[in-house]
Amino acid sequence: MNYNDAAFLTERIPLGDKRALSRAITLVENEDPRALKIERDLYSLTGKAYRVGITGPPGAGKSTLVNVLAKEFKSRGNKVGIIAVDPTSPFTGGALLGDRIRMGAALADHEIFMRSMASRGGTGGLARTTTQVADVMDSFGFDVLIIETVGVGQLELDIAGAVDTTVVVLVPEAGGGVQAMKAGLIEIADIFAINKADRDGAEILKSELQDALSLMPAIKNGSWDLPVKLTVALEGRGVKELVDTVYKHKEHLEASGKFHKNRQSQAEIKIRDIVRAEIGKRLWMNPSLKSVLDSLSGFCVEGKIDPYSAARTFLQSAEAQR
Amino acid sequence: MDKIKVLVAKPGLDGHDRGAKVVARALRDAGMEVIYTGLRQTPEMVVEAALQEDVDFVALSILSGAHMTIFPRVLEKLREAGLDHVVLTGGGIIPPEDMDKLHQMGINKLFGPGTSLEEIVNYFKEEGAKKKVS
Ligand SMILES: Nc1nc2c(ncn2[C@@H]2O[C@H](COP(=O)(O)OP(=O)(O)OP(=O)(O)O)[C@@H](O)[C@H]2O)c(=O)[nH]1
Ligand SMILES: [Mg+2]
């Protein structure tokens, strides 16, 4: 029983040991050397969980919605896991992770596993390691994985590349469809949920959004008409319909072949990231290449060489070293 | 470096968590990752959250006078869950003689009313540093 041992953890996770899962997530999050073995050994068990992303502005009610969504998925016989990302303070490196507060009901009977993640410098609304954490959770045997992002501003849109269905949560106060278009939310959304529909303006936002959508050529979505759903997460209203819509989207992805295609491009992203990191390690951690780089950058400052030629010279030295 | 992770919870039925929130923010500002669970947590919920979040500390804020039942319950549940490495600490209106008894049971440092935030933060930093080395 050694919860610090990677081999032990990979053995225990498929058996349903939550503590092993929890520790493995920590190692992955910390980018600990042991995480590599864990991710590699468990990868063959991943792919089964349907991944749903929940994103939207701060305070839109994402966590409250995840709470009721998780319960609804569970009541339909699914084993549900949740990952919720909150921002790390760029000044102190600390984070206050408060998403569990809203998920009391879903978490009460301990059948739903929920993990908070600090963004730790990740910029796209996720932490750098959120996808890997999702993979490890996937291997535990969840049917549905719900991932809540940091409250997005603009251009924090990594979630779409990490999940199968992206739900963008807006609130009546959020301003109209034009804002959503500007913020790039229409590009990443598979479903819009207008939450806090108990407040004035929800119907207006809905029709504004639908107007904005009707102007958009259906580039990304093909035959999928972006649905706009109203929810009152606090009361659980509209949640069954939202889950139905997630399943409709899933069917659409599967029937059109996009499910496989999306997953393949996600795998491609993973490979690219690993290759980039590996190349970086080989180039920048190599002491003799470092001294080549030092002298080249010195020459640049002295005006003896331009950065492009310096880069070519650097790559030639790297080649010569292999 | 690995982050120090703290679960701050407010068990029991008393409905006011200002103190817990102030401590949670202070620990965040000291660079820690703080999971805040909100009000009315049962010992079972606290321990399950500690397990799922893989924290180093569980810090309970208890103002209701129920500390002599809640702390031992949480400690017992932590041990049942195999989470012996998790440090159990906290604060509230706890008389010194109760603090002594709780220490003897294996509960770590407890903070009474009027403790400065600085003192609390330093405790987590020092204990946390020890844990991350070992
Ligand atoms: N009126 C109303 N309030 C809601 C509804 N859903 C959530 N809220 C409230 O909105 C506030 C924010 O809810 P959260 O679920 O924490 O929002 P969030 O999007 O997860 O927030 P961050 O994670 O901090 O970005 C809370 O006070 C909720 O009670 C709703 O349907 N109607
Ligand atoms: Mg939230």
Kindly list the residues from chain A whose CB atom is less than 8 angstroms away from the CB atom of residue B48: 107, 110
The structural domain count of chain B equals 1
Nearest to A22 among B24, B35, B51 (CB): B51
CB atoms within 10 A of CB B29: 16
Q: Give the separation between CA A94 and CA A237, rounded to whole angstroms.
A: 35
Amino acid code (one letter) for A108: A
The answer to whether the CB atoms of B35 and A116 lie below 8 A apart is yes
Residue nearest to atom 7 of ligand 1 (CA): A61
Rounded to a whole number of angstroms, the distance between the first and last alpha carbons of chain B is: 13
Burial A32-55 (b: 16+ CB within 10 A, else e): eebbeebbebbeebeeebbbbbbb
For B123, the domain range is 5-133
Residues 6+ apart with CB under 8 A from B106: B75, B88
The answer to whether the CB atoms of B2 and A115 lie below 8 A apart is no
Q: Are B89 and B110 in contact (CB under 8 A)?
A: yes
Q: Is the dihedral of CA B31, B32, B35, B38 positive or negative?
A: negative
Tell whether ligand 1 has an atom less than 6 A from the beta carbon of residue A63. yes
Kindly report the average pLDDT of chain A as a whole number: 91
Q: Give the separation between CA B95 and CA B92, rounded to whole angstroms.
A: 9
Confidence label for B63 from pLDDT (cuts 50, 70 and 90)? confident
Least confident interval from A253-262, A276-285, B30-39, B97-106: A276-285
Please give the backbone phi and psi of residue A8, each rounded to the nearest 5 degrees, phi first.
-60, -45
ipTM of this predicted structure: 0.94
Kindly list the residues from chain B whose CB atom is less than 8 angstroms away from the CB atom of residue A116: 35, 53
A118/chain B closest Cα distance in angstroms? 7
CATH number where B63 lies = 3.40.50.280
Q: How far is the CA of A144 from the centre of ligand 2 (A)?
A: 19
Q: Which residue of B has its CA nearest to A115?
A: B53
| Residue-range domain boundaries for chain A | 1-44, 46-256, 271-320
Q: Give the separation between CA A65 and CA A59, rounded to whole angstroms.
A: 11
Residue spans of chain A under pLDDT 70: 152-156, 174-183, 217-222
User: Cα–Cα distances in Å, from A178 out to A57, A184, A212, A227?
Assistant: 15, 10, 7, 16
The answer to whether the CB atoms of A96 and B36 lie below 8 A apart is yes
Domain A46-256: which CATH number of 3.40.50.300, 1.10.260.40, 3.40.718.10, 3.20.20.70 = 3.40.50.300
Tell whether ligand 1 has an atom less than 6 A from the beta carbon of residue A233. yes
SS3 for A109? coil
Residue-wise pLDDT for A74-89, tens only, equals 999 999 999 999 999 9
